[in-house]
Amino acid sequence: MNEYQTGKAIRPTRKQKVMLDFIDNYIAEHGYSPSYREIMTGLNYRSVASVATLIDNLIKRGQIRKRDNSARSLEVVYSQVTPKVKTNQVQPKEEKWLVEKIENAFTQVETDAANLAEDSIDHLYVLIGALKVLGLDSAAQSFMPRLQILKQKVSA
């Protein structure tokens, strides 16, 4: 009975470890696995066949899985990397830019009060909602009085 049949984990060789780390980091960064050519380029191999041989060995060892026979279907079985989580946090300069854009939208609607329409108000509500989703509640609240005044003009 060999190590594959007993289910004991086998430590990867140095080259295999480098490849596992590369694939793991690539998946964490991009959300999908690299192609064999991207692995070849990223690890400075000279041929795709070298990459394929190493990957086949990692599959046999149970350290990588391959879904179907499709491209970009590699999965590291015991991933050491946590995927990067994108949050809805806004940088101060982005917040300033966003508030200025919403301010311009309000100014446009207010200056064209003669042609005030319900969709204009709806659009402004969406913009304020976006501020709230991004965690910019104080900025959203600062626009609410102006929005209420515009809403009253439409209703009248």
Q: Is the CB of residue 43 less than 8 Å from the CB of residue 22?
A: yes
Q: Percent of the chain scored above 70 by pLDDT?
A: 86
pLDDT digits (tens, 9 = 90+) for 67-112: 777 777 888 887 666 555 556 677 778 888 888 999 998 888 888 8
The 3-class SS string of the chain reads CCHHHHCCCCCCCHHHHHHHHHHHHHHHHHCCCCCHHHHHHHCCCCCHHHHHHHHHHHHHHCCEEECCCCCCCEEECCCCCCCCCCCCCCCHHHHHHHHHHHHHHHHHHHHCHHHCCHHHHHHHHHHHHHHHHCCCHHHHHHHHHHHHHHHHHHHC
Q: Look at residue 88 in the predicted model and tell me its pLDDT.
A: 63
Place of tokens 């004991």: 8
Domain boundaries, the chain: 3-76, 92-155
Q: Are 66 and 74 in contact (CB under 8 A)?
A: yes
3-76: CATH topology is Arc Repressor Mutant, subunit A (1.10.10)
| Percentage, residues of the chain above pLDDT 90 | 13
Q: How high is the pLDDT of residue 63?
A: 87
Q: Considering the chain, what is the average pLDDT of its residues?
A: 82
What integer pLDDT is reported at residue 132 of this predicted model?
A: 86
